[in-house]
Chains A and B, each alone.
Chain A
Amino acid sequence: MLAVDLSGDAVKAKNGSMVAYDGQMAFKKMSGGGEGLRGMVTRRLTGEQMTVMEVQGHGTCYFADRASEINLVNLHGEKLYVESSNLLCTDAGLRTGTTFTGLRGGATGNGLFTTTVEGTGQAAIMSDGPAVVLRVSAQYPLSVDPGAYIAHTGNLQQHFQSGVNFRTLIGEGSGEAFQIRFEGEGLVYVQPSERNTVGGDV
């Protein structure tokens, strides 16, 4: 559960994720997540939909969603890439948007697009079990199972790497045929659980 102390300021949160609050709160549905008309159209087109409400007031507001673990990410001007389904709450000052992820999305079954969060402030992302934060640097690229990936920050290039060979086709697959390889400088958030993915059983 996430507790947010508000004193007149606002946060953006996933629609319906409030479980309790004390003090005075106002909840306002934000069409298009506050991204304006262009953002709305982009989200509709990309299928990366996200229903967001704006919470403003004085007091403490508690957010939770399906008992999943909540991880706080501090942003200082960098960009956080996260699946919209994993994004719980952001400071109102953070800008959200949509971006193309390339082939990775296809394998995770999450679509080809993902959500970006940009600016300075905190964002709360959800994971099944506490996320492990792994640093990627030039010498140490990281390979991640698409089903366990939840988010990343920093300047990272994603490569889709596939170990599919004739063995996969005859049912002798390794079960780890698809991975995302991250190169560059940044952080990757990984959850200790795997979503069902298209490539998961191969």
Chain B
Amino acid sequence: MNYGPAPSYGPGPGGGPGPGFGGPGGPGGPTVLDPYALPSDDNVNPYTFCVELKGSQWFLQKGKMIAYYGQIDFNGIGHGRFDRLLRTSFHSPLHASDWVVAEGSGKMLLADRAFDVNSYDLDEGNLTIRSGNLLAYQPSLALKQSIVPGFLTLIGTGKFVAASNGPVVFMEPPLRVDPQALVGWADCPSPCHHYDHGYMQGVMGGLRQLTGIGGASGEEHQFEFVGAGTVLLQSTELLMAEQPVGQVQAAAGVPGHGQGPLGQQLGVPRMPGQLGDLQRRFGL
């Protein structure tokens, strides 16, 4: 498979100085784009992506379209006409209210809060990504909810567009990453939590983490990736705002909402070292 920001950024075929506006007294202003000069399924500049629709359909996260030429319709996922499409490419009922289907012909510009935008090609592959970072994807891909809460998995062949705060960095496992820098991962098994040893060193370790007294580096908790694959990181620890989505249906064995081994509700994530778990530390 091949990820890697599909054709690189840079000015579209129009050439010219590109949309990086010159400094003081620069050249005669920015490149002006029209439907011919706009690239087809490529970046216009690092923050804007252009999708060409020729009677085809794209899934699109709500509110990421900034402008379009031509005749394009946007319809909510619940539209009865899309039943067949949804059956093959949309399997995330909890996210249904965030997604729309764009169809028609024309060129459409996508952007997200001035974040870096990239397209990726999947070829019979799978990739899991933070739900807030995914902007759009071709219906030849199937969107499913990852069993890791807050992440979505794309399976199949096709193109999708994702945003990141700062350029995306590709890393190979084995690797431990900061939870806030993680954008997604491809091909490798799901990550596991990794806590530094000090975290677990008795009650004091827990208290230190909770209160920050006695020195907590803020890096005691990482995600660990092993196996073959690629991990996508953004170059900042600033998270993008995520829209709260519904809860997964409670069923035994479903992470996040199943019943714990002792029958207690696992709804609230509990850090080891949280005072409420003290009794378990003492083996009670």
Contacts and interface: CB of A to CB of B under 8 A. Distances in A.
Contacts of A132: 19, 33, 44-45, 48, 66-67, 109
B210 to A, nearest CB: 35
Given A143-B67, A176-B62, A148 B28 contact: no
Contact of B76 (A4, A128, A167): A167
Contacts of B78: 167, 172
B29 interface: yes
B122 to A, nearest CB: 24
Nearest to B102: A176
A73 B67 contact: no
Contact of A176 (B65, B79, B117): B65
Contacts of B22: 72
Nearest to B28: A74
Given A135-B33, A148-B111, A193-B111, A173 B76 contact: yes
Contact of A73 (B29, B31, B35): B29
Contacts of A141: 69
Contact of B68 (A142, A191, A193, A201): A142
Interface in A148-174: 148, 163, 167, 171-174
B47 interface: yes
Interface string A74-114: 10000000000000000000000000000000000000000
B62 A134 contact: no
A137 interface: yes
Contacts of A135: 32-34
B100 A130 contact: no
Contacts of A148: 66-67, 111
B24 interface: yes
A5 interface: yes
A67 to B, nearest CB: 10
A154 B35 CA distance: 18
A200 B113 CA distance: 13
Count class of interface residues, chain B: 35 or more
B67 A144 contact: yes
B111 A129 contact: yes
Given A163-B74, A175-B74, A194 B29 contact: no
A145 to B, nearest CB: 5
Contacts of A190: 66-67, 109
A2 B69 CA distance: 31
Contacts of B63: 145, 147, 175-176, 194, 200-201
B76 A174 contact: yes
Q: Most chain-B Cβ atoms within 10 A of its Cβ — which of A71, A167, A192? A: A192
Interface of B: 19-26, 28-35, 44-45, 47-48, 62-63, 65-70, 72-79, 97-98, 100, 109, 111-114, 117
Interface of A: 2-5, 60, 69-74, 128-135, 137, 140-145, 147-148, 163, 167, 171-176, 187-188, 190-194, 200-201
14 contacts: A69-B21, A130-B19, A132-B19, A133-B32, A134-B34, A134-B109, A142-B68, A163-B73, A174-B75, A175-B62, A175-B76, A176-B100, A187-B32, A193-B66
